[in-house]
Amino acid sequence: MTDTPQLDENAFVEINKARLTRNRLSDHPPRILLLYGSLRDRSFSRLMSEEAARVLERLGAETRIFNPTGLPLPDEDHADHPKVQELRDMVVWSEGMVWCSPERHGAMTAVIKAQIDWIPLSLGAVRPTQGKTLAVMQVSGGSQSFNAVNQMRILGRWMRCITIPNQSSVPKAFQQFNDNNRMKPSPFYNRMVDVMEELVKFTYITRDLADDLVDRYSERVETREELIHRVNKTTS
């Protein structure tokens, strides 16, 4: 019979309810980064992201859109590549993100996946994605599907983002934009606005609590063990 694991009392502390329920402190505009998943000249995921950015700005957010042109494939180059650094700096700047991908062969594109793969879970003491909000959207050339948004939700969970419940999927995207590359009025446009509105709300609610939301017992145990190891090493 194996022994039952015991909690490490030196690392285990009660949840700080006061910190989690405190009033909002930040009053600056929510900072939202938008990533899109196509390099085409007329990329509908880019047009969708630009439309979403306009809505976000109307809702009071500050936005940046990353252009993936020139971003190397993961492991093709080093992390000090200028486009990789640009992407990572934007992610660190952000308090929330929007990922928008075309659906290709029933999945998200390599372009959007490469961007996410270049984002690490940690950069020293900085956690670029953890505890930040995320909205997912997709565009399709044919009938409506949800494969890409479902896959991005899995990635968002893996990156420890707070992925909002609502999402947007636009079928036959080539019919949803006019000659000026603006999205036409439609239920799909209204749904996209719903998603952006929800993202801003979730970002307001959680951005000051991000560090507390990703604070984990297992990591506190690891940190304590590392400190003990360092102390023993310096005193031996």
What is the phi-psi region of residue 5: left when phi exceeds 0, alpha when psi lies from -120 to 50, beta otherwise?
beta
Average pLDDT over residues 13-41: 83
Residue 2: which pLDDT band, with cuts at 50, 70 and 90? low
User: Quick one: angle between helices 110-117 and 147-158, nearest 10?
Assistant: 10
The structural domains of the chain, with segments of one domain joined by +, span 28-235
Kindly state the tokens that stand for 69: 């042109």
Q: Are 147 and 106 in contact (CB under 8 A)?
A: yes
**For 28-235, which CATH superfamily applies?**
Flavodoxin domain (3.40.50.360)
Query: In this predicted structure, what is the pLDDT of residue 24?
Result: 64
pLDDT of residue 104: 93
d(CA 55, CA 197): 8
pLDDT tens digits for 185-222? 999 999 999 999 999 999 999 998 888 887 778 877 88
pLDDT at 203: 96
**pLDDT average, residue stretch 113-123:** 90
Helix (H, G, I), strand (E, B) or coil at 105: coil
d(CA 178, CA 85): 34
Q: Which percentage of the chain shows pLDDT scores above 90?
A: 67
Higher-pLDDT residue of 220, 174: 174
- Calpha distance 156→101 (Å, rounded): 14
Q: How far apart are CA 202 and CA 59, in angstroms?
A: 13
pLDDT-derived band of residue 3, with 50, 70 and 90 as boundaries?
Answer: low
